[in-house]
Chains A and B, each alone.
Chain A
Amino acid sequence: MKYEEIQDMLDRYWEGETTIDEERRIKAYFNSGAFDQRLQQIAPMFQALSEEKAVQLAAKAKIVSMRPQMYQWAVAASIALLLTAGWWMFRDENTAAPRVVDTPSALQKAIEMPVVEAPQEALATVDKQVPKPALPKKKHAVKHIKSTPEIDPETAQAMAEIKAALALVSAKLDKGRSEAIKGASYLETMEKIPKRKAG
């Protein structure tokens, strides 16, 4: 690069009028080692800038452990897997049920029914001497749900299946827990062994 050319660029550089590309050329010029001696005084500035750009984060510096994120994903995946497994089991057992669409309404009734009936049944058994006033009430209750009175057995079946599914989950959890306890006690005994040997 000619002296006049670089001098012109420098004049504009001090005024903040150079483009990034021109600034790169200026830095390259002063770092080439073959710059005009008349510009010797300001050369260190552009050498300093280039040196600073070469500074890098030390390789040994640890950068973002992915572990916490991976752990969260693992937990999410396990839960998803559990839910899917549960759904499959429930679905397999439920093949007798004709339509899956019916299940939510059946479930709804399963929730409604005990709430409506249980207190009245209890009343009926306690007030055995006065069964008649209790009966009309019961009829009222039945009227409310009259639209699908024959669902009862289905509801019972649904309840039973939910119970079975929950029992299965709880059994698995129990098994897991007992395995964990076994493991923990095993670790404890393992810890004790060297101590005894040492002592």
Chain B
Amino acid sequence: MTRDLFHEQVFPIRHKLYRFALRITGSVHEAEDVVQEVLEKVWKTAPEQTDHIQNWEAWCMTLTRNRSLDKTRSQTIRRTASLDGVAERKSESINPAQATERNDLVARVKRMMQELPEKQRLVMHLRDIEELSYDEIAESLNISLDQVKVSLHRARKTIREKMIND
């Protein structure tokens, strides 16, 4: 891989790759390691092997997914309710009481997302957070377009129902 290509196509999406790895592994440290390994692998890939690649983002996403799944499976990660780094984050609101309530609700949604079945969770992440097209999601996850649509529909529906019923 050439330096220019790396800096134009791959390096700028590192945060995206990190969020995706975080979604799968649920651990900040694991996700950081995954991004490091993926970037290193892409950087060291010979140019001949990357000739066929049209969508760098989807390719990197696939590498990130595979690497993350390897890590998750090999270490049977303790996926606790409070995912370190995923659930807790600040937001700017006006009054502290409201802010706390809002944060609780937002944190609950994040947990719900994390509890979705793997495919639904990843499809929803790539669409609703990373704003990828259905085609790009299908390519990144190596699944059919129909599976993307069905998984997304189910994921959104599950979260909506939980929010309304709780």
Contact = CB atoms under 8 A, between A and B. Distances in A.
A44 B102 contact: yes
B19 A16 contact: no
Interface in B9-54: 11, 14-15, 18-19, 22, 28, 32, 35-36, 39-40, 43-44
A58 to B, nearest CB: 7
A169 interface: no
A64 B43 contact: yes
Given A52-B129, A69-B44, A14 B156 contact: yes
B133 A55 contact: no
A56 B12 CA distance: 12
A64 B45 CA distance: 13
Contacts, number: 87
Nearest to B123: A16
Contact of A63 (B36, B86, B160): B36
A64 B36 contact: yes
B50 to A, nearest CB: 15
B36 A62 contact: yes
Contacts of B113: 48
Interface residues of A, number: 28
Interface stretch (B55-63, B65-73, B74-82, B103-111): B103-111
Nearest to A13: B156
Contacts of B14: 57, 63
B131 A23 contact: yes
Interface of B: 11, 14-15, 18-19, 22, 28, 32, 35-36, 39-40, 43-44, 85-86, 89, 91, 102, 105-110, 113, 125, 127-131, 133, 149, 152-153, 156-157, 159-160, 163-164
8 contacts: A14-B153, A41-B163, A44-B109, A48-B106, A49-B129, A56-B18, A61-B32, A63-B35
Interface of A: 13-16, 20, 23-24, 41-42, 44-45, 47-49, 51-58, 61-64, 68-69
Given A55-B22, A69-B44, 11 more contacts: A16-B153, A41-B163, A41-B164, A44-B106, A44-B109, A47-B109, A51-B91, A52-B86, A57-B15, A63-B14, A68-B44
Q: Which 8 A-B pairs have the closest CB atoms?
A: A44-B105, A48-B109, A57-B18, A16-B153, A64-B39, A56-B15, A61-B32, A48-B106
